[in-house]
Structure 1
Amino acid sequence: MSYYDRIRELTKTVPVTLVDFELPRDPARIPTQASSNFITNKEQGDWAENLVFRAINQTSKNFVAVRYGKSDDLVAGEDGFDTFYQEFQDELDTIGKRPDLLIFKKEDFVTDLGTDISKIPHHAITEYVKKAVAGIEVRSSAFLIDKYEEAMQIRTEKFSQIALKTRDFILAEFQEELSHPSRQAYVDILKNITPKTLSITDFRVPSWSSTERLSSLKAYLRTLKDAIKEIQKRDYLSITPKVEDIKVVYKWIETFKVPHFYFQVFFDKVYGISFEQILSIISDSNNEGITFSVEADTKNQNKTTIKINSKSGISIASKIDEPTHKSVRKEMDRGRLLFYVTFKGGTAYLDVDNLINILGIDIKEF
């Protein structure tokens, strides 16, 4: 079975409540005004793309990374942005969403086109794109993943201890209050709380206040519930394909039949995962809440985003030298000023064995 055939079959297994491939994509509204935060995020994304681009081209002898994703320095509110944005939307409906980078074998690389074909009309490079061995969508995250995971482990251990100690204290100190038949349900809940059930336990904090003891009991139950809420928060950093992008990535694969991958760049490591694996993960509802979650991304206009545990992918770069950064002033229309951060430099140290493994390349070829 070909790569495209495997992807097509997988799309049939994705729950339609998550992604309905039979429905056309929702039309997008043209943004009217950029913010400092938006431009900083864009700058960070551009840096992450450049980091991967440079790492591959500086490491490989036989493959070339080429910039391909539709991009422009214009932002909402500037002259020409509306035209650029509408052309981008039209292209999504025609060929799907271009990944940020394409990887070509050197013998297929067209020197005259160079390493940036992002501004070339899609119809002029269709046959060339089909020769790529991989398309890579690069996402960025402003975290150090190792420190994040260490902090989350400490957090989980802390609140687990608080929850279990509070449970024991309530059962020992409030036996009389809990012995009343109207409160027996709380005894059952408390006795069923174990280290294994903390992640799924929930209950309503009562409104008791008629006596000092009941008010005190209510306060301890609130402490217990708050600790459980902390334990149940997502404790992993993620690779983040937007739900709306799943359709247009599939359309791009349908158009060009080239394998597609997501690379998530943190400020200390890079993780990669294939689009094929993403579809496999979200097709199994048993993975939700464990391997992936579906959330409204407040940093991206509350767009619904699939957040897949980064460790479901593999490490593409196990070390990154951080970039330098500086503040930039940008003057918009009517004298509105935006201040944002730009990033420059940095080095990603590729784990070549993992990279060629995920891309399906022989080590001798790379």
Structure 2
Amino acid sequence: MANSEFLTNKEQGDWAEKLVQTAINEGELGLLAVRYGRSESLAAGDEGFEEFYASYQAELNEIGKRPDILIFERAHFPTDPDTSSDEVVSRAIAAIEVRSSSFLANRYAAYMEQRGAAALEACNRIRKEILGSELADLLREKNEELYRFLESAKNESFKQLDFRRPSWSSSAQLRRLSELLGDLKKHIAILHKRDYLSITPKVEDIALVNRWIQRFGVKHYYLQVFFDKAYLIPFEQILQIAADSKKEGDVFSVERDVKNQGKTTIKINVQVGREVIGKIDMPEHRSQMKEFERGRLLFYVTFEGGRGYIDGPLLKEVLGVC
């Protein structure tokens, strides 16, 4: 069943696709970007939804998941190509799945850097307070392993530390030591949290995307669009990263994503991708209302306008276009 957040997310995704298509087509790159993914706006409860859903599932079973945008060499297609033809689709030089995210990437990076620096500063302050007082001997007596860690700790060490917060209370000094270790654990927890924005392929889509690639033989990419920039990564690289367990936690994580109705999502650090759109003008946003047959009302946000400034040479480099 559709809800306001679902409809807003769909509107944002549609806006991101249009922004990317326009940026490529107006970039004088000799490329033609064509919308290709399913564009129906039906939601559960709308007339005709059951027929649409059955048709969509049949398509997924037959050809897999369509990417949102196909890119052709413009010289071969002076007008919009017929993407209902398998032969035409197979002549695309790249396929792009566009993912949107409600963040300003620059603001997020600055905030996370400041938050991490503040947490490290607090960890070092607590470390010095413990080791520079009589609390050091108490800690060595109670937990020698933790004492040895603090004695040799460097900034990069704190992110690797985890311990149970003690509840010592038999003396004022032990209570103070417990409080300091509790604060230390709180700041270390901040360092443990994922501190990067991500490119977000859904796990359930992996096989469906691969099915489409096997049918048409077109290189596939994910493009994560924020409200100030966008990052591109090849689908093949996503598979390589997700298959390397040593990179989990640092380069990627696997989470249940609220924005995608709780679906399991691979979250890959955007810095692994290439920043092919380095600036985006903010779109206008307006409230809209949707009325269902039985009188249910939903209010959601639509997006209009905005412009993406594409790095043409970098895009062509990533796509392997001369």
TM-score, normalised to structure 1, is 0.83
5+ residue gaps, structure 1? 1-32, 118-123
The one-letter code of the counterpart of 1:158 is A
User: How far 1:160 moved relative to its partner?
Assistant: 0.2
Structure 1 179/338 Cα, relative in aligned 2: closer, same or farther at 3 Å? same
Q: For the residues of structure 2 that align with 1:328 and 1:159, how far apart are their CA atoms?
A: 42
Partners of 1:339 and 1:291 lie apart in 2 by 37
How many aligned residue pairs are there?
A: 321
My pick for the range that moved more, 186-195 or 353-362, is 186-195
Instruction: Find the aligned partners of 1:310 and 1:327 in 2 and give their Cα distance.
Output: 30
Q: CA deviation at 1:110?
A: 7.7
Distance in structure 2 (CA, Å) of the matches to 1:41 and 1:75:
13
Deviation, structure 1 residue 265: 0.7
Counterparts of 1:85 and 1:71, CA distance in 2? 13
| Deviation sequence 1:338-360 (CA, Å, 0-9, x none) | 11110001110110111101111
Match of 1:3 in 2: none
Q: Report the 3-state secondary structure (helix = DSSP H, G, I; strand = E; otherwise coil) of the residue aligned with 1:308.
A: strand
SS of 2:206's partner is: helix
Matches of 2:55 and 2:171 in 1, distance apart?
67
C-alpha distance in structure 2 between counterparts of 1:223 and 1:107, whole Å: 63
Q: Which piece of structure 1 moves more, 36-45 or 333-342?
A: 333-342
Name the amino acid aligned to 2:166. Answer: P
Give yes or no for the alignment of 1:73 onto 2:41.
Answer: yes
Q: Which residue identity is paired with 2:54?
A: Q
2:16 aligned with 1:56? no
CA distance in 2, matches of 1:279, 1:125: 28
User: Contact (CA 8 Å) 1:268, 1:320: kept in 2 or not?
Assistant: yes
1:304-344 Cα distance to aligned partner (Å, 9 max, x none): 11111111111111111111111111112432211111000
The Cα of 1:76 is off from its aligned counterpart by 2.1
**Match of residue 95, structure 1, among 63, 72, 75:** 63
Q: Which residue of 1 aligns with 2:90?
A: 130
Paired residue secondary structure (2:26): helix
Tell me by how many angstroms 1:165 deviates.
0.9
Q: Is the 8 A contact 2:29 2:312 kept in 1?
A: no
User: How far apart are residue 295 of structure 1 and its match?
Assistant: 1.5
- Aligned counterpart, 1:104: 72
Matches of residues 123-272 of structure 1 in structure 2 within 5 Å?
124-173=84-133, 174-180=135-141, 182-272=142-232
The one-letter amino acid of 1:83's match is E
Q: Structure 1 vs Structure 2: percent identity of aligned residues?
A: 50
Say yes or no: does 1:325 pair with 2:279: no
Residues 137 and 58 of structure 1, relative CA distance in 2, 3 Å threshold: same
Segments of structure 2 that go 5 or more residues without pairing to the other structure are: none
User: Secondary structure of 1:339's partner?
Assistant: strand
